[in-house]
Chain A
Amino acid sequence: MATRIQFENNCEVGVFSKLTNAYCLVAIGGSENFYSAFEAELADAIPVVKTSIGGTRIIGRLCVGNKNGLLLPHTTTDQELQHLRNSLPDQVVVQRIDERLSALGNCIACNDHVALTHPDLDKETEEFIADVLGVEVFRQTIAGNILVGSYCAFSNRGGLVHPHTSIEDLDELSTLLQVPLVAGTVNRGSEVIAAGMTVNDWTAFCGSDTTATELSVIESVFKLREGQPTAIVDDMRKSLIDSYV
């Protein structure tokens, strides 16, 4: 299910949070509403951890992670690093890396299997991504934008990319990522997808300006709607018929 939330009147929820299948990071904000929204949805499944990175609140754009690990920029302080190591589950490897492009969340987009990265990323960083996050790494651009981490958001089940992505690019990316992709917007026409929303395999959080249309696109491409039996049967039916023929 997709939920609409705000961080202190700001609809860019993907800037102030990082959601994966194993944990959720949330920025320390003035009011508790933001944190409570995440807690309400996720508390029984995964830990929701309040943190800052480098003393800032823009944690969603500075770090990148999935269920296997979390990569932090060199600006992360030792205390923050320790706090995260303590709070996250043991199987999540927390690693601080030395990368010139320190806004890792803007440069790298990943799910549990594949990562798309900024074309200018260090080779060393690429290796870290492959090791720590356990993913296959592809250097890509999205609609001509090198900040792939900002202009797309994808989970293991689907992805949303910059609205100006061409059909050819969409097909190419979809083949690389092995998930269905759709070009769309969030927060009432904002093209910066990853800043406006954050998603994992079973839930998504979008800025409160997101229109009903955008929300329904998000729910359908990320397959978030409560599993209606008919949907599952339809999927199965296609594979059954395939094997018949």
Chain B
Amino acid sequence: MPPGGRKPKLPPTFAALSPFARSIIFTAASASAKRPPRPHAAAAETPRQGQDDMPRQPPKRARRAEPSSDDEEEEERGSSESEDEEEEEDSFGTSESDGDGDGESSEELETVQADFAFFDPKPTDFHGVRLLLKTYLDSKPWDLTGFVDIILAQTTVGTVVKLADDDDDHDHHQGQGNGAADKKNSNDDDDLFGLISVLSLGRYAEHRCIKDIKEYLLSVCADKDAKKQLRSLLEGKASSVGLLVCRRFVNFPYELLPKLYDALFDEVSWATEDEPTKELQDSFRFKHYLLVVRMLERKTPAKHKSKSIKDDDDDEPVIYPKLEDEIFHELSSWSFTFPIRSEQSAQQEMKNYKEMGLVMAIKAEAIPKFRKKLEALVSE
């Protein structure tokens, strides 16, 4: 088996897992076979890259290959290999908190090797992006399709995260000889792990999806002061407001986050110079960013005494499913929360919490601070 052919084949059920899927199940190659081919695989991949001239380091424990900072390539690629922290030898018999062993092996947890890469949004990403955005607003019908379309159309600013091999032309794929390769290509296009983009509320003001979002946010805002601020951002100052959309699967590796946000903010600043018309350039000069995210708020504990003391003390008042939301919330100029009507996830550890929506606005000047804090948080 050629060293380049070590990529695990995703089972077809993977595409159907909800964003709240707890584990990725891969049929990994045997532990011993995995280590040696890695450097070869890295070398084998380089000639396939074509226009991509940045070197891929032998990715044993490497966190990332540095993206070319000055070239404006069509496809910005940063890749990072995410490995399970455990050694493969130790994984036997260990039970992780979310390793409920569904699928083939229940006692043995296998290490998962995954190469993530960043790509520009393409029209073929439609279904993957739609899946990620399904719970963006509440269950009330809105123009989600239109929203996905404008995100995919904006190729200059915006990144989708997929597995590293996905976009490669299979003609160049050496020696795979896999009859199923074609099928794999079309299936993998839907396996989006994450998405980040920012949409100018001024540029897209006439689109139905943006109007739906504005209407929705104004309708759920209960706080009078926040509503005033919200209205001014949505109406008067819309041309300098960017709606920052970041959606990803729950098990997305947090090490990639600084890179993801760096990619976005770098693209925004490049766009202010590179866009073909002045109007478009100005549309990316954001003074404010608006975020619509979810958070978990602790329900008022009904039985305060009967629970053991440690439960109450350890419960955080607020849990942020996406860790950077906590930083954003700290740095926000204003924010408000609103209740979510759609079905709550019924998990044991989360039963004391209810899901709320959180809307916050950040000044563009606070972004460098955010980037530093995110980097610090992730490297802890």
**Given A188-B126, A209-B145, are A8 and B183 also a contact pair (CB < 8 Å)?**
no
Distance in angstroms from A102 CB to nearest chain B CB is: 16
- Which one of B112-120, B136-144, B318-326 is at the A interface? B136-144
| A208 cross-chain contacts in B, Cβ below 8 A | 145
Q: Which of B126, B127, B141 contacts A8 (CB 8 A)?
A: B141
Q: Which residue of A lies closest to B183 (CB)?
A: A164
Asked if A227 is an interface residue, CB under 8 A from chain B, the answer is no
Q: How far is the CA of A141 from the CA of B342 in the complex (A)?
A: 37
Whether A6 and B126, one on each chain, are in contact in the complex, defined by CB atoms closer than 8 angstroms, is no
Count of chain B residues near A, Cβ 8 A: 13
Q: Which of B126, B141, B142 contacts A189 (CB 8 A)?
A: B126
Asked if B48 is an interface residue, CB under 8 A from chain A, the answer is no
Whether B126 and A9, one on each chain, are in contact in the complex, defined by CB atoms closer than 8 angstroms, is no
Whether B139 and A8, one on each chain, are in contact in the complex, defined by CB atoms closer than 8 angstroms, is yes
Asked if B341 is an interface residue, CB under 8 A from chain A, the answer is yes
Q: How far is the CA of A189 from the CA of B123 in the complex (A)?
A: 11
Q: How far is the CA of A31 from the CA of B130 in the complex (A)?
A: 21
| B139 cross-chain contacts in A, Cβ below 8 A | 8-9, 30-31
Asked if B134 is an interface residue, CB under 8 A from chain A, the answer is yes
Q: Which residue of B lies closest to A190 (CB)?
A: B127
Asked if A220 is an interface residue, CB under 8 A from chain B, the answer is no
Distance in angstroms from B187 CB to nearest chain A CB is: 9
Distance in angstroms from A210 CB to nearest chain B CB is: 11
Distance in angstroms from B380 CB to nearest chain A CB is: 37
- Contact-residue size bin, chain A (C-beta under 8 Å from the other chain): 10 to 19
Q: How far is the CA of A209 from the CA of B146 in the complex (A)?
A: 10
Asked if A33 is an interface residue, CB under 8 A from chain B, the answer is yes
The SS class assigned to the A binding surface is loop
Distance in angstroms from A144 CB to nearest chain B CB is: 9
Please encode chain B, from 226 to 248, with 1 for each CB lying within 8 Å of some chain A CB and 0 for all others: 00000000000000000000000
Please encode chain A, from 20 to 43, with 1 for each CB lying within 8 Å of some chain B CB and 0 for all others: 000000000011010000000000
Q: Tell me which of B126, B140, B141, B342 has the highest count of chain A C-beta atoms within 10 A of its own C-beta.
A: B141
Q: Which residue of B lies closest to A30 (CB)?
A: B139
| A6 cross-chain contacts in B, Cβ below 8 A | 141
Asked if A10 is an interface residue, CB under 8 A from chain B, the answer is yes
Q: Which residue of A lies closest to B136 (CB)?
A: A9
Distance in angstroms from A133 CB to nearest chain B CB is: 27
| B341 cross-chain contacts in A, Cβ below 8 A | 30
Distance in angstroms from B162 CB to nearest chain A CB is: 17
Q: How far is the CA of A10 from the CA of B343 in the complex (A)?
A: 14
Segment 1-26 of A: residues with Cβ below 8 Å from B: 6, 8-10
Distance in angstroms from B326 CB to nearest chain A CB is: 28
Q: Which residue of B lies closest to A29 (CB)?
A: B139
Distance in angstroms from A146 CB to nearest chain B CB is: 11
| B140 cross-chain contacts in A, Cβ below 8 A | 9, 30-31
Segment 144-190 of A: residues with Cβ below 8 Å from B: 164, 188-190
**Given A30-B139, A30-B341, A188-B126, are A9 and B144 also a contact pair (CB < 8 Å)?**
yes
| A189 cross-chain contacts in B, Cβ below 8 A | 126-127
Please encode chain B, from 183 to 206, with 1 for each CB lying within 8 Å of some chain A CB and 0 for all others: 100000000000000000000000
Q: How far is the CA of A189 from the CA of B125 in the complex (A)?
A: 11
Whether A9 and B183, one on each chain, are in contact in the complex, defined by CB atoms closer than 8 angstroms, is no
Q: How far is the CA of A87 from the CA of B140 in the complex (A)?
A: 29
Q: Tell me which of B130, B142, B341, B342 has the highest count of chain A C-beta atoms within 10 A of its own C-beta.
A: B130
Name 9 A/B residue pairs within 8 A (Cβ), A-sorted. A6-B141, A9-B140, A9-B141, A30-B140, A30-B342, A31-B139, A164-B183, A188-B127, A189-B126
| Residues of chain B having any CB pair with chain A under 8 Å | 126-127, 130, 134, 139-142, 144-145, 183, 341-342
Q: 16 new A-B pairs (CB below 8 Å) besides A8-B141, A9-B142, A30-B342?
A: A6-B141, A8-B139, A8-B342, A9-B139, A9-B140, A10-B134, A30-B139, A30-B140, A31-B140, A33-B141, A164-B183, A188-B126, A189-B127, A190-B127, A208-B145, A209-B130
| Residues of chain A having any CB pair with chain B under 8 Å | 6, 8-10, 30-31, 33, 164, 188-190, 208-209
List 3 A-B pairs, minimum CB-CB distance, nearest first: A8-B139, A30-B139, A9-B141
